[in-house]
């Protein structure tokens, strides 16, 4: 895409989109250009429509994947090329919600034990113990860990929002052990292999998948599974939804309430209205038939 790619990246920055979203939109735009082998300025509504339909039929995109590609093309034409009429018709597919599989505390312990390095155990414990997204964990800096107040400062989380979350004692002890052993250089708490760069999310993902297989966990496990477990276990222990929303950094409380839907413990604690009925209101088998015989 050449200069157009640079312009689009600049436009994405000016709109305040985070680095991950910018990279995703650029990849989607490049895939569109590669498919037609033509400059986007030479194409329009017809090509966009045909491309999205073809990708749905041939690659069987999920609704969420479709929405990301549609959003990228909508941005490309509406903002970078200044031709919003070409993409004004694009709508969004409804993404079905599938409750995630929640790891139990015992399964989290098995996962931690199966991780090969102290660094990865610290990373996973941060995701579970503090409810951090994997991108937030790998971008932590040493100064973000406040052992005096027992909090972690999450700088520029999702939506570029800062927040504080808890620093559990077990995580603090693990971080201190990790620090003594590896002495990471630079501001990053978890530096990558290249100097000046943070540990990659892909490296964390692969380590978690390997550890889950080693621990013989039957559930699908990703780094985000630890954040799901954090939220569900707090909710089951009595943490209110508003506090949980702040800890997770959710913009809307509706996102947080989903965890109430996936927690079996919350369901078990809720009393059915049937159990509040007076026992005398529950007829015995055959009682109605007997009453009719007596009345006759």
- Residues with catalytic roles: 133, 158, 224, 227, 250, 259
Element (H, E) at 165: strand 163-166
Q: What is the DSSP letter of 79?
A: I
Q: Is 164 helix (H, G, I), strand (E, B) or coil?
A: strand
Measured CA to CA, the distance from residue 123 to residue 120 in angstroms comes to: 5
CA-nearest of 42, 26, 94 to 66 is: 94
Measured CA to CA, the distance from residue 186 to residue 183 in angstroms comes to: 10
Cα of 256 vs its chain's centroid, Å: 12
DSSP letters, 25-57, are: HHHHHHHHHHHHTS-GGG--HHHHHHHHHHHHH
């Amino acid at each position: 895409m050449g200069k157009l790619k640079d312009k689009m990246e600049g436009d994405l920055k000016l709109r305040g989109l985070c680095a991950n979203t910018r990279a995703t939109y650029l990849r989607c735009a490049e895939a569109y250009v590669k498919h037609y082998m033509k400059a986007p300025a030479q194409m329009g509504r017809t090509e966009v429509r045909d491309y999205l339909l073809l990708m749905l039929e041939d690659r069987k995109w999920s609704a969420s994947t479709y929405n990301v590609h549609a959003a990228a093309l909508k941005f490309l034409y509406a903002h970078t090329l200044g031709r919003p009429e070409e993409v004004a018709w694009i709508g969004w597919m409804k993404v079905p919600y599938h409750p995630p599989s929640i790891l139990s505390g015992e399964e989290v312990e098995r996962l931690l034990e199966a991780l090969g390095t102290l660094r990865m155990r610290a990373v996973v414990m941060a995701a579970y113990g503090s409810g951090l997204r994997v991108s937030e964990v790998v971008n932590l800096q040493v100064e973000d860990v406040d052992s005096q107040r027992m909090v972690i400062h999450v700088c520029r989380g999702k939506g570029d929002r800062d927040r504080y979350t808890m620093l559990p004692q077990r995580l603090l002890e693990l971080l201190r052990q990790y620090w003594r052993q590896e002495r990471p250089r630079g501001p990053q708490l978890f530096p990558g292999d290249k100097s000046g760069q943070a540990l990659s999310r892909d490296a964390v993902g692969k380590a978690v998948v390997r550890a889950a297989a080693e621990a013989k966990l039957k559930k699908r496990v990703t780094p985000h599974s630890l954040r799901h477990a954090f939220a569900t276990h707090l909710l089951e222990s009595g943490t209110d939804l508003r506090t949980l929303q702040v800890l997770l950094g959710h913009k809307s409380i509706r996102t947080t309430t989903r965890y109430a839907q996936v927690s079996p413990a919350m369901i078990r604690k809720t009393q059915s209205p049937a159990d509040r009925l007076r026992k005398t209101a529950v007829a015995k088998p055959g009682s109605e038939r007997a009453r009719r015989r007596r009345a006759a």
